[in-house]
Amino acid sequence: MGERRVARIGGRILPSYRFDLISALLGLWMFVGLLLDAWAHSIYGVESFFTAWHAVLYTGFLATSAWLGWAVLQPMLAGARGLQAVPYGYALAVAGLVLFGVCAVADLVWHEIFGIENGFDVLFSPSHLGLITGGVLIGTGPVRSRWGRGVGRGLRVEFPLLLGLTLSVMPVFMFLEYGDALVWDPRAVVEVLSVRPDFGPNTRGTSAFSAAVVITTLMLLGPLLMLSRRGPVPPGAAVGVYATATLVQVSVTGAAFPHVKIATVVAGVLVEVLLYWCRPTYLRPHATVGFAAAAALGTWVVVFAAMYVPERFPRVPEYWAGLPFIAVAVAVLLALLVTAPSPPRRR
């Protein structure tokens, strides 16, 4: 809290801890509305544009716009122009606000012309994709602002960054639902991993679930490995990302498959322990690769156990035994990319 708002970097105002915290909390307001809206779509189906869920979402947007707008207006009144008037780290957040506002109007027009989405098509609406892109940019404001500050100084100091990170991850999980293995019905998982292993059309479900495991691994571990580039990953990061994935599960599937939701949280705690034990950072590439491999393996062993044990193990052992190691390979490749040395600078 000792930082002062008047501090500057490159001529731009360096936001204080309080500013970043309020920005993250206002973003939380927005994304609570997004979660409620997704939950309402899955429970109640088609509604009008004017719903209580949209009210939470758009009042959060207006509050965030007012907060960041005031932060930009003050330097402008003092003579700053262009990016010099935008607090450091918030340029993309301001762009996200503009994009979100434009797409909100476009969403209303879209619904008036084509009607309201009735199911899976909600994930492909151009106006919705614009809203989500804007929302992700808004959520990254506190992350960008605090990227080079407070590294390794504990949860309280890192909280705005962590909250911003989880807010940025939430819409990604939500709008990549078709690639999220965690929302699959365990009975369907057992079924698609029990089909005769040939290359015919009957293995399309197997292919879809296998691809979902790869995508979900990237969504879960990508943010954590990205954080490792700045230094020690803040405590609570893994639990935050995995809890966010669980909240999205709830918004999509309601109270169904509670054992899978519990397993996701347990896997997050396991990965949190691995973060503490391995201490992955950009300067410790072997530790980072080891963490990625152990985290991927641990995650899917826990989740698959929750899926299989209440039902039965799939009939094809290569599927259920091999999928966790495919996830490990993907995580290791991602860790190698994250720890790759920067190109030499030209002199």
Let me know whether 151 and 103 are in one domain: yes
Let me know whether 224 and 265 are in one domain: yes
Let me know whether 199 and 310 are in one domain: yes
Tokens 């993309």, residue located? 92
b (16+ CB within 10 A) / e for 144-164: bbbbebbbeeeeebbbbbbbb
- From 109, 142, 175, the end of a domain falls on 175
Q: Is residue 2 part of a domain?
A: no
Tokens 């939380």, residue located? 28
Let me know whether 85 and 195 are in one domain: no
Cβ neighbours of residue 322 under 8 Å, at least 6 residues apart? none
Q: Is residue 159 part of a domain?
A: yes
How far from each other are the two terminal CA atoms of the chain, in whole angstroms? 40
b (16+ CB within 10 A) / e for 103-115: bbebbeebeeeee
Q: Is residue 346 part of a domain?
A: no
**Closest Cα to residue 177, out of 10, 69, 38, 8?**
38
Let me know whether 184 and 163 are in one domain: no
Say what percent of the chain tops pLDDT 70: 91
Interval 133-151: pLDDT, tens: 999 999 999 999 999 786 7
Query: 263 with 189: CB under 8 angstroms?
Result: no
Structure token pair of residue 254: 């309601």
CA angle 184, 189, 195 (to 5 degrees): 145
13, pLDDT greater than 90: no
Give the pLDDT score at 27.
Answer: 93
Let me know whether 164 and 184 are in one domain: no
Interval 301-347: pLDDT, tens: 999 999 998 878 888 888 889 999 999 999 999 999 999 887 766 65
Query: 242 with 268: CB under 8 angstroms?
Result: yes
Structure token pair of residue 104: 């909100």
**Closest Cα to residue 55, out of 81, 76, 37, 77?**
37
Q: Is residue 25 part of a domain?
A: yes
CA angle 276, 278, 283 (to 5 degrees): 115
Let me know whether 35 and 124 are in one domain: yes
Residue 330 amino acid letter = V
Cα 285 to Cα 224: distance, rounded to the nearest angstrom? 14
Let me know whether 85 and 200 are in one domain: no
Q: Is residue 1 part of a domain?
A: no
Q: Is residue 229 part of a domain?
A: yes
User: What residue numbers bound the domain in which 11 lies?
Assistant: 7-175
pLDDT grade, residue 14 (50/70/90)?
confident
Let me know whether 16 and 81 are in one domain: yes
Let me know whether 24 and 160 are in one domain: yes
Q: Is residue 210 part of a domain?
A: yes
Report the domain count for the chain.
2
281, pLDDT greater than 90: yes
Residue bearing the bigger pLDDT, 125 or 220: 220
- From 146, 175, 204, the end of a domain falls on 175
11: number of Cβ within 10 Å:
9
Q: Is residue 316 part of a domain?
A: yes
Let me know whether 18 and 154 are in one domain: yes
Q: Could you write out the DSSP letters of every residue in 82-147?
A: GGGGSPTT-HHHHHHHHHHHHHHHHHHHHHHHH----SGGGGT-HHHHHHHHHHHHHHHHHHHHTT
Cβ neighbours of residue 84 under 8 Å, at least 6 residues apart? 11, 12, 75
Let me know whether 195 and 165 are in one domain: no
- From 159, 175, 191, the end of a domain falls on 175
